[in-house]
């Protein structure tokens, strides 16, 4: 049996001569446990919001997106690109073309991104989940082209979901010079009629600027023939996205960029990761402060056990063993605090996931009614290791210093 550990365990659970030491030891464990609980719950809430945002992007972004490394467009008839249709992992192949244009409706103007897509766009992404209104997902027919605008953009133009007059779309002619006498000659125009639908991704990047329409209209507006901004792929359910991504990149070469959903929204996820990291560091600092209670508890314990130390020395214990007794004491306080905190944090996360006790506001005010929570095993492991490291390191120097000063 490890002698210092055995004595430390007896000290931790035995009654001290001064009841205040027991109270402070309990407070120390509670302090570490609360800091651990806060870390687990906070990181899980960040994960929940990240998953929530990802679910919105999933309805708009493809699983894999192929774009040109240089320039805004590339030839959609490139044999290397067309060959992707024959890959066994590809379930849906869809082209799109997008660029900036000016939108005008009844005298109001706004800048927008016109995104022309193929008729199979509804099979590429679950776009139906973010559509609102009474209409069908029809982007064109023999008579006209139709628009599905973002809900914030439509509000900026002062229109309802079903606008009566068509949206007037203007884009500059490629390579044309503006004639001051007739500036309208430098623009290409077109009209988009109401489809009776709008989309709401709940992200300003899309809702305030994007308009979905047919690929043919976008090509006429921006004066392209077979060019596309991107080729979008949906893979079969059993396909490994990372493996297929590497395979496509090897086939297409350095002229093309293959991105998954997270890379398509790299800026958003980078911001969320930074916020999560800052929260983790801030709560770790609070944990360090909580560990001062452990140091105080050990200081009082060392003073209380002076006579025991003399007895142990008479029985043959050396100074190193005595120091290790109090080190084990501090480490056990940190361990029990970390264990209780992790278990309590996981329990709270489960309660929130199941019952949604902590609400975001009145029903319907937010995208979700309760705080989203998602527990990741790696986060729990990182928190547990962090608490143990901070706890172990915070007691190492104080115990050695106090032992030398108080146990002479």
pLDDT along the chain (408 residues), means of 10: 71 62 81 95 93 78 94 94 94 96 93 95 90 88 94 92 92 75 77 94 89 96 95 94 94 94 87 93 92 82 75 77 82 92 96 88 67 94 95 83 64
The phi and psi torsions of 178 (rounded to 5 degrees) equal -75, 125
pTM: 0.76
Q: What is residue 404's predicted lDDT score, i.e. its pLDDT?
A: 67
The phi and psi torsions of 68 (rounded to 5 degrees) equal -80, 140
H or E element, residue 387: helix 377-406
The residue among 57, 49, 120 whose CA lies nearest residue 259 is 57
Q: What is residue 366's predicted lDDT score, i.e. its pLDDT?
A: 64
Q: How large is the angle between the packed helices 19-58 and 319-355, nearest 10 degrees?
A: 40
Contact 125, 62 (CB under 8 A): yes
For every residue of 33-93, DSSP letters joined together read HHHHHHHHHHHHHHHHHHHHHHHHHHTTS-SEEEEESSSS-EETT-HHHHGGGG-TTEEEE
Q: Give, in degrees to the nearest 5, the angle at Cα 206 between 133 and 212.
A: 55
H or E element, residue 169: strand 167-172
Q: What is residue 10's predicted lDDT score, i.e. its pLDDT?
A: 72
Alpha-carbon span 2 to 319, nearest angstrom: 15
Q: Give, in degrees to the nearest 5, the angle at Cα 61 between 57 and 62.
A: 135
Contact 357, 370 (CB under 8 A): yes
For every residue of 94-145, DSSP letters joined together read EEEEEEEEEEEETTEEEEEEEEEE-TTHHHHS-GGGGEEESS----B-SS-B
Would you state the structure tokens that stand for residue 212, as one six-digit string? 């979905």
Q: What is residue 168's predicted lDDT score, i.e. its pLDDT?
A: 95
What does the CA dihedral 77, 81, 86, 90 come to, rounded to 10 degrees?
Answer: -120
Q: Give the pairing type, strands 90-105 and 230-235.
A: antiparallel
Q: What is residue 20's predicted lDDT score, i.e. its pLDDT?
A: 65
């Amino acid at each position: 049996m490890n002698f210092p550990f055995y004595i430390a365990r007896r000290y931790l659970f035995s009654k001290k001569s001064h009841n205040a030491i027991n109270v402070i030891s309990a407070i120390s464990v509670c302090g570490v446990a609360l800091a651990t609980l806060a870390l687990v719950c906070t990181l899980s809430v960040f994960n929940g919001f990240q998953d929530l945002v990802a679910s919105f992007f999933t309805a708009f972004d493809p699983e894999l997106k192929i774009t040109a490394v240089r320039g805004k467009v590339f030839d959609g008839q490139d044999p290397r690109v067309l060959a992707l249709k024959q890959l066994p992992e590809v379930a849906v192949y869809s082209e799109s073309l997008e660029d900036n244009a000016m939108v005008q409706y009844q005298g109001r103007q706004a800048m927008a991104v016109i995104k022309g897509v193929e008729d199979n766009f509804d099979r590429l992404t679950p776009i139906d989940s973010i559509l609102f209104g009474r209409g069908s997902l029809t982007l064109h027919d023999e008579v006209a082209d139709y628009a599905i605008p973002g809900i914030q953009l439509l509000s900026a133009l002062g229109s309802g979901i079903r606008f009566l007059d068509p949206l007037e779309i203007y884009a500059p002619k490629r390579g044309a010079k503006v004639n001051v006498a007739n500036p309208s000659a430098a623009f290409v125009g077109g009209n988009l009629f109401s489809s009776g639908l709008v989309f709401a991704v709940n992200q300003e990047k899309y809702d305030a600027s994007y308009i979905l329409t047919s690929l043919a209209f976008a090509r006429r507006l921006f004066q392209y023939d077979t060019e596309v901004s991107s080729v979008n792929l949906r893979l079969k359910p059993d396909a490994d996205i990372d493996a297929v991504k590497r395979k496509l990149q090897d086939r297409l070469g350095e002229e093309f960029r293959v991105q998954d959903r997270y890379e398509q929204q790299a800026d958003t996820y980078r911001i969320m990761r930074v916020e999560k990291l800052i929260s983790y560091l801030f709560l770790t600092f609070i944990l360090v402060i909580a560990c001062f209670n452990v140091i105080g508890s050990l200081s009082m314990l060392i003073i209380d056990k002076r006579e025991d130390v003399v007895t142990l020395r008479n029985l043959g214990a050396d100074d190193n063993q005595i120091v290790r007794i109090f080190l084990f004491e501090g480490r056990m306080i940190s361990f029990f605090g970390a264990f209780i905190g992790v278990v309590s944090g996981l329990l709270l996360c489960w309660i929130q996931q199941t019952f949604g006790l902590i609400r975001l506001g009145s029903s319907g005010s937010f995208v979700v009614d309760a705080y989203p929570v998602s527990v990741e095993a790696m986060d729990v492991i990182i928190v547990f290791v962090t608490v143990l490291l901070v706890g172990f390191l915070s007691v190492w120097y104080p115990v050695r210093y106090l032992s030398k000063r108080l146990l002479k």
